[in-house]
Amino acid sequence: MSECIVVTSGKGGVGKTTTSANLGVALAQKGNKVVVVDADIGLRNLDVILGLENRIVYDLVHVVEGECRLKQALIKDKRNPNLFLLPAAQTRDKNAINPEQMRELVAQLKEDHDFVIVDCPAGIEQGFRNSIAGADRAIVVTTPEVSAIRDADRIIGLVEAAELPEPRLVINRFRAKMVERGDMMNKDDIMEILAIPLVGIVPDHEEVIVSANKGTPAAYNEDSVVGEAYRRIARRLCGEPEVPYIALNKGGFWSNVKRMMGLSAGGAA
Amino acid sequence: MLELINKFFNKDNGSKEEAKARLKFLLVHDQVDLTPSQIESMKTEIMEVIARYVEVDKSGADFRLQKEAGGVALVSNIPVSRVTARAV
C-alpha cells in the first residue's frame, strides 16, 4: 500500500528539504519506489539538494495545468532508479495550484509509487495547505531551539486540525556536546513540550553542507552519521520495530566518565 | 549530594532550562490569546469572588496558565487564611 508523507516544520531553515531528500534516498535504497515532490513553488530547492537541477524540463505546475503528462515531469535520480523528483515551478507562486489539484496529483503519484514525500514550504499559508492536502501523515522537523519548537507546536495543531493522524517528530541539528553541558534542550525536553512520537534525531554535522554542495544527499554515503540517522528514520517509517538510536555522545574523557556515572543527559539518534 | 555532583559537572546549569521555561510560557500564551492585562483582571475578579466566601491571602495567591494533554489549564493556588464562612 502506498503512502504520502508531508515533511513540514512551520519555521524555515530547519531542514525540511534536507530531510525530504534524505528520506527519499533512504526509502528508495530499501527497495521502495519513491517520488519526492517539491511543493515550494517559487522557491524550489529540492532539485539542488538532489543534484538534479540540470534535468528539469517540466514541473508540478505544468502537470497541474495539463501542459505535460505526469510521467514527462518526473526526473529519475541518476544514482537510484527507484527515486524520482517532481520539481516545483520556479517562476510561479503558491497560488498557482490549490489543495484539490494537489490531492489529485498525489493520488495519481500513489498509483505508481510506494512513497510520495512532499517537501512543504515554510509558513502556514497556501503552500502549507496545498502540501498537506493529499498527505496520509506528516513528519514535523524541528531543531532544539525556542523559535523552531514554537513553530513546530503551531504546525502540529494545524496538522491535527486538518484531521491527519498524529504527526511524528524529527529533531534536526542535534548537538550532543551542547546537550551535555546543558546548553541545548535534549530529546526528552523537546518531547515533553511537543508531545508527539519521535521518529528520529539527526546530528548537526558539516557533512550536510558538503552534501548540499555536491548535490548528493548524505544518505548515499555509507559512512555518514547523518546518512545513518536518515536510514534509521526510513526503517522506522517502514514499520520496522525498535530501530535503535545512534549513540551521539562520543565525547571526551569527562563525558565518558559522566555517562558511566549516569549523570549525562547526552543524546542518541 | 547528587545535586552537588551535578552542579560540579555543570548539568542543568546551562541555558536550556531558560529556553524550556520560555517555551512553555510562549506556547500557552500563543494558544490562549489573552493580553497580560486581561489575564491580570481575570485574576483580580476570581480573587474577588473567592474572597466573598472565605478570607484569602491575596499576596500568596498564585495563578498560572499551563499546557496539559487536553489543552491549556488555569492552575491556581490560593491560601485561605480563615475558613469560617462569611455572611454573604
Q: What is the pLDDT of residues A104-134, one digit of tens each?
A: 999 999 999 999 999 999 999 999 999 999 9
* A242 CB-contact burial (10 Å; exposed 0-12 / middle 13-18 / buried 19+): exposed
DSSP state of A166: P
Q: Is the pTM of this model over 0.90?
A: no
Per-residue cell: A232: 534509521
Place of cell 527497495: A31
Chain B residues with beta carbon closer than 8 angstroms to that of A181: 10-11, 14
Rounded CA-CA distance B50/A86 in Å is: 62
Residues A35, A84: contact at Cβ < 8 Å? Answer: yes
Angle value at C-alpha A36, between A34 and A37, nearest 5 degrees? 140
Determine whether the interchain pair B14/A181 forms a contact, defined as Cβ–Cβ distance below 8 Å.
yes
Chain B residues with beta carbon closer than 8 angstroms to that of A146: 19, 22-23, 26
Partner residue facing A189 (CB), from B10, B16, B22: B16
pLDDT at residue A138 in the model: 98
Report residue A253's pLDDT band, with 50, 70 and 90 as the boundaries: low
Q: How far is A160 from chain B (nearest CA, A)?
A: 13
DSSP state of A165: P
Rounded CA-CA distance A259/A252 in Å is: 11
Per-residue cell: A205: 554535522
Per-residue cell: A240: 520496522
Rounded CA-CA distance A130/A67 in Å is: 20
Residues 16-35, chain B, touching A (beta carbon < 8 A): 16-17, 19-20, 22-24, 26-27, 30
Q: How far is A21 from chain B (nearest CA, A)?
A: 30
Residues A85, A77: contact at Cβ < 8 Å? Answer: yes
**Please, what sign has the CA dihedral across residues A199, A232, A143, A38?**
negative
Q: Is the per-residue pLDDT at B70 higher than 50?
A: yes
Which residue stretches of A134-251 are H helix? 146-161, 176-180, 187-194, 207-214, 225-237
Q: What is the pLDDT of residues A127-176, one digit of tens each?
A: 999 999 999 999 999 999 999 999 999 999 999 999 999 999 999 999 99
Q: Is the per-residue pLDDT at A269 higher than 90?
A: no
Determine whether the interchain pair A195/B5 forms a contact, defined as Cβ–Cβ distance below 8 Å.
no
In order of their start, the domains of chain A are 3-260 (3.40.50.300)
Residues A182, B15: contact at Cβ < 8 Å? Answer: yes
Determine whether the interchain pair B6/A153 forms a contact, defined as Cβ–Cβ distance below 8 Å.
no
Q: Is the per-residue pLDDT at B76 higher than 80?
A: yes
pLDDT at residue B85 in the model: 60
Q: Which amino acid is at A146?
A: V
pLDDT at residue A265 in the model: 45
- Please provide the DSSP assignment of B49-87 as one string: HHHTTSEE-GGG-EEEEEEETTEEEEEEE--EEE-SPPP
Determine whether the interchain pair A153/B27 forms a contact, defined as Cβ–Cβ distance below 8 Å.
yes
Q: Where are the domains of chain B?
A: 2-82
